Amino acid sequence: MHAGQDDDSSALRTVLRSIGQTVLQCNALTGACVLAALALCDLRLACAALIGAVTAHVSARLVHYEPSAIRDGLHGFNGVLCALAAASIIDDTQVALAVALLSAIAATCLALPASRWLSTRALAVYSSPCLVVTWGWLALRASAHASTGPSGADIGHVYGQATWVRFPCDAWFGGSAVPLPGAFGDACAALAQTVFASGALPGLLIAIGIALASRRAAVHALLGAAASSAIAWLCGESLAPLHTGVAGFNGALAALALVDRGAVAASSAVVLSALVHQAAAHWGWPAMSAPFVASVWCVRTGAAGLINRYAPPPPALRRSRAGDRRASPSRSS
């Protein structure tokens, strides 16, 4: 009886860690806060997150992924993101459920080979499997719409759907969302957008969840979101994407990913992600979290190149080189 309860508790913590990994935190309490934020925003999103996490967990177990990685949620969060994307973009519940299940399985199966290939380049997989799978079914959907009528052929329309926000809490609070002070409210809204939610209050719950794992990470996430939104405003972005958090969530994720790499690396990734997001928005491409992934990869690759080029060799290598020079015969005159 106790063994069964322990197994159930362990599975629940794994599911919650998978949800917590969507904001780069291996913490079940973070996952519980993210799940609560999704439920506060839209119960459909909360159900989608659970479906994606469970589907990814089962898929990872079936293909015999490393148990410790499964337990930490590393093979589950892409399934969560895939399910959330399907629930956010597809209005038909039955179609959204089918796409959520299939895309979660596909992303989970893609995650391990992608992670192995990227690890040889000192890069992490992040949400790239979710992006590949989601872009794939978005392209198929756009092609299907194009064959039946011109209304679905424009990828800009798909982008509009991908950034559409739901906030049914508005009705509970007298027709307007709960206000939070200025830039802080916009930064919280950006945190909500990391999991396809919207609104400052769900974002505040996510910030609290991140702080339960790491207060430093929570501060970096809020600062990254604010900086990214400021860059979008300087680029001429309208106020609506700033207030909804669409312009800032990639910056928040970039800051979270490089929180242990120093202020220069994190700031560089935030700026680059904001610029890539603006370019994607200009061309009408559903970038989702791609600016965050691309910017972090670029910063990590660039930092590794600079270290390899300019960093002094380790003491053991310097002693070895000095010994080789002493051992080599001098050139006769």
Q: How does the average pLDDT of the chain come out, rounded?
A: 84
pLDDT tens figures, 313-333: 555 545 555 555 555 554 443
pLDDT tens figures, 294-315: 999 999 998 655 555 554 555 5
- Pure H helices in 120-181: 128-148, 155-162, 169-172
The pLDDT assigned to 326 comes to 53
Contact 113, 162 (CB under 8 A): no
Domains of the chain: 9-167+178-310 (1.10.3430.10)
Contact 267, 233 (CB under 8 A): no
Residue 79 has pLDDT above 60, yes or no: yes
For residue 185, what is the DSSP state?
H
Q: 104-108, 154-158, 252-256 — which is least confidently predicted?
A: 154-158
For residue 167, what is the DSSP state?
-
Residue 208 has pLDDT above 80, yes or no: yes
> pTM of the full predicted structure?
0.82
The pLDDT assigned to 158 comes to 41
CA angle 176, 179, 181 (to 5 degrees): 160
Phi, psi (degrees; rounded to nearest 5) at 97: -65, -45
As to burial, measured by CB atoms within 10 angstroms (0-12 exposed, 13-18 middle, 19+ buried), residue 10 is exposed
Residue 166 has pLDDT above 50, yes or no: no
pLDDT tens figures, 127-155: 999 999 999 999 998 888 776 654 443 43
Identify the CA nearest to 251 among candidates 283, 211, 291: 291
Phi, psi (degrees; rounded to nearest 5) at 112: -65, -50
